[in-house]
Amino acid sequence: MRDFFGGLLRPRVEALGLEIGSANIKMVELSGTPPSLKNLSIRPTPLGVIQEGSITEPGALADAIKEMLTEMRTRKRYVVTAASNLAVITRTLQVPKMPLKQMEEAVRWEAERYIPFPIDEVVLDYAPLDPLESIPEGEQMDVVVGAARQETVASLVEALKAAGLEPLIIDVKPFAGLRTLSGRLVATDREPITLFLEIGAESSALVLTRGERLLLNRVINLSGKDFTAAISKAFNLDAVAAEDAKKNYGLATIPTEDEDLLLDFDAERERFNPARMYDAIRPVLVELTTELRRSLEFFRVQVGDLGVDQGFVAGGGSKLRSLVPLLADTLGIPLEIADPWQGIQIDKSRFDLEYLRSLSPEFTVPVGLALRGVNPLD
């Protein structure tokens, strides 16, 4: 699949992987083939820098990125990054089979019907979902289209250049995350149906694939911040204290007595007891599972009653205790936390493997971006 917004620059050089989230900025440096981990960094996103998917303070973001580059001691200055889920619109369209050189005009004309702002105000890229040679002459072909407003892309590029970086590709977050799972998307006997759920701080994305072919991509306006907001309201906390309470005491199910003993609550055990915490976030859990079920039902209506064979969950919002098992039970789909470090060579004398595993949810997307940075850029 072509990489969206990849026309900015395409030299064959290695590039850093950088994810700019509303909660954290994450950067990964890989090198070589097979790729090896050279360095990584994570730090909180400065307050007010990102609002509803758009960068409002490019200078402050640039300063934070500069500090990360210094911390990592990297000389690389090319970067592969991604736009916010809230800033990107993706659609699967049908156009007549035609050579790629002739496809852009047809795609833009068709996409204009589905993009809610003028087509001349967006940056747009597209990719056929099937090889051209596999489509009979005269038939329609499926094309996935990604679009973002020019001002959104411009503010991102401005911040990167101010930090001394040169953007190669602006990707779509869940598609980047899928790149870390490429070995799990195919099987020897068939093409499994795979669900990939990225639960970020600001938004979530649900992707379904058959093998490596995209079937569905949907942004869900529920995320980690909704759990935090629910805790803030229930316990009368400010946003920072509510986020800390979520990390330390939040859970998606009421634990059994044995599990309760393992949670190791401190002096605030009574205030943030499991029953009260669960009651606080239960409405968000119900809304999230309802939205996921609706998306899966839409998928079944479109393509038939195909079962999902496997599922992977990523994003910092997925670290809420017991959330992944709850979603697996509710949806009836085997789910596991995505492991972006599979296939990455890691020097055990430099990196703590347990620490890296603890960061797996947050680093699935940035590792996927970095993988694109060590692959040939076509």
Share of the chain above pLDDT 90, in %: 73
How long, in residues, is the chain? 378
Asked if residue 362 belongs to a domain, the reply is no
Number of structural domains in the chain? 1
Asked if residue 43 belongs to a domain, the reply is no
Within 8 A by CB and 6+ apart from 349, the residues are none
Question: Which secondary structure element, helix H or strand E, spans residue 171, and what is its range?
Answer: strand 166-172
In this prediction the pTM is 0.91
Within 8 A by CB and 6+ apart from 179, the residues are 368, 371, 372
Asked if residue 268 belongs to a domain, the reply is yes
Asked if residue 305 belongs to a domain, the reply is yes
Q: How far apart are CA 374 and CA 378, in angstroms?
A: 12
In this prediction, residue 269 has a pLDDT band, given cuts at 50, 70 and 90, of: low
How much is the mean pLDDT over the chain?
89
Asked if residue 299 belongs to a domain, the reply is yes
HEC profile for 269-284?
CCCCCHHHHHHHHHHH
Asked if residue 257 belongs to a domain, the reply is yes
Q: Is 151 exposed, middle or buried (0-12, 13-18, 19+ CB in 10 A)?
A: middle
- Residue range(s) defining the domain that contains residue 329: 182-338
Asked if residue 148 belongs to a domain, the reply is no
Across the beta sheet with 78-83, the strand order is 36-44, 24-31, 16-20, 78-83, 166-172
In this prediction, residue 8 has a pLDDT band, given cuts at 50, 70 and 90, of: very low
Residue 30 phi/psi, 5-degree rounding, is -115, 160
CATH number at residue 204: 3.30.420.40
Burial per residue of 118-141, b for 16 or more beta-carbon CB atoms within 10 angstroms, e otherwise: eeeebbbbbbbeeeeeeeeeeeeb
Asked if residue 376 belongs to a domain, the reply is no
The model's pLDDT over 171-200, given as tens digits with 9 standing for 90+, comes to: 999 999 999 998 899 877 778 999 999 999
Closest of 155, 122, 130, 168 to residue 9, by C-alpha: 168
